[in-house]
Structure 1
Amino acid sequence: MHRTLTSSIFPELTLLLALSILFSGCAASHRSLSTGETEISSKIAALQDSLTGLKPHPDPDEARRVAETAVTHSLRLADAYRVVPPARWHNVLIQVGIRERGLCFHWTEDLMQRLQALGLSSFDLHWGVAHRGSDLREHNSVVITAAGQPFEAGLVLDPWRNSGDLFWTRVDRDAYPWAPLPRDEW
């Protein structure tokens, strides 16, 4: 049987491409606490500003503690989970048994626990869920509001989305359709 150039090269090219993708993904690094003190400090200050902007105005000292904890703990979790960005790729590694933790609900669970330990009085913590029940689209994250304010007025604190580099935005401005998970289901 005569093989054409395309049929003889295609399997080799496919294998080479697959290996390139695999190894480039494994070589990618996530941000960590060694990222740089200035960059981390800037991120903490920006989150603190977002938190103090919630209505009614929460305690600035609590906002600082929340910002420091959320930003630095997210980076620590990335190290602990041995994250391989992007987040969806890391999810694949968990599904095939190469990694144990790092799905969005793991990040939410661990960040929530750390934030609850702060004993906040001018903020309320919520567990946000989007696309609940969907095997491929469900997403979980911490949502923080000023004390007594509705879930929709809060900020999403999402360490999963950028592989430990904390992402935040207002609930009503995010692409995800967030809803609160009842406390008895946390």
Structure 2
Amino acid sequence: MKSYLASLMILAAATLAGCGTPPTATKNDVEELSLALQSLDTGVDPGEARRAAEIAYSYSAQLAKQYDVTTSPIIHNTLVNSGVKARGVCVHYAEDMQARLNQENFQTLSMLRAIAEPKSDFRIDHSTAVIAANGDGIYDGIVLDPWRYGGKLYWSATTEDPRYDWEPRLEVLRRKYERRMVKEAAAGS
């Protein structure tokens, strides 16, 4: 009965949210991101920066279509987590964006991953791709977050994102593992 009610609530929420419009980027959007990428380091190739910006915008929209995003990101997460939809939570966007941009074999740019742990009990971890000048870390890079607005690319300098405090993915995963081990050890005592 509970699963039936949960399914009805999900269906109602999805219906009320309506169909989303496909995300689009203007030439200005792409140019701004391209310039931001070029400003990461004097060694960033302008052609690579432009190509990365074009791909980041177009692939964000492509992923939203591929994931069949028709609702807000939170509702879409619920649909994925309940098995109604196959993909489209933030980690999927981050993995797929990183993989797609890595296909370009950039020589002056590199793809990284970041996670922001929740600031309150009501939020969940958020994953994203970060693009940086070759050899730099996430704190010197730019967040590429297509999940936040359901396929419309959000980007900012990693340290200037007003919503999330990003950390290197492996550091967060290591910390979570250590916390889990402490809890398991305490439970076994």
What TM-score comes out, normalization by structure 2 length?
0.76
How far did residue 19 of structure 1 move? Answer: 7.9
Q: Is the 8 A contact 2:112 2:137 kept in 1?
A: no
Aligned to 1:180: 168
Paired with 2:164 and 2:124, the residues of 1 have a C-alpha distance of: 10
How far did residue 40 of structure 1 move? Answer: 3.2
Equivalent residue in structure 1 for 2:19, among 3, 12, 28 = 28
Paired with 2:36 and 2:123, the residues of 1 have a C-alpha distance of: 30
Amino acid at match of 1:108: A
2:150 paired with 1:163 = yes
Task: Say which is worse superposed, 118-127 or 145-154, in terms of deviation.
Answer: 145-154
Root-mean-square deviation (CA, aligned residues, Å) is 2.5
Structure having the higher Rg: 1
Amino acid at match of 1:104: C
Aligned to 1:124: 110
How far did residue 20 of structure 1 move? Answer: 6.7
Distance 1:20 1:85, change over 3 A: closer
What TM-score comes out, normalization by structure 1 length?
0.77
Equivalent residue in structure 1 for 2:138, among 151, 157, 162 = 151
Amino acid at match of 1:161: R
Q: Is the 8 A contact 2:113 2:138 kept in 1?
A: no
Q: Is the 8 A contact 2:76 2:88 kept in 1?
A: yes
Equivalent residue in structure 2 for 1:69, among 55, 66, 75 = 55
Residue segments in structure 2 that go unaligned for 5+ positions in a row: 1-9, 174-189
Please give the per-residue CA displacement for 1:151-181, whole angstroms capped at 9, x wherever unaligned: 2111000010011100001111112111112
Task: Say which is worse superposed, 74-83 or 55-64, in terms of deviation.
Answer: 55-64
- The alignment covers a number of residue pairs equal to 161
The percent of aligned pairs where both chains have the same amino acid is 32
SS at match of 1:94: helix
Aligned to 1:94: 80
2:132 paired with 1:140 = no
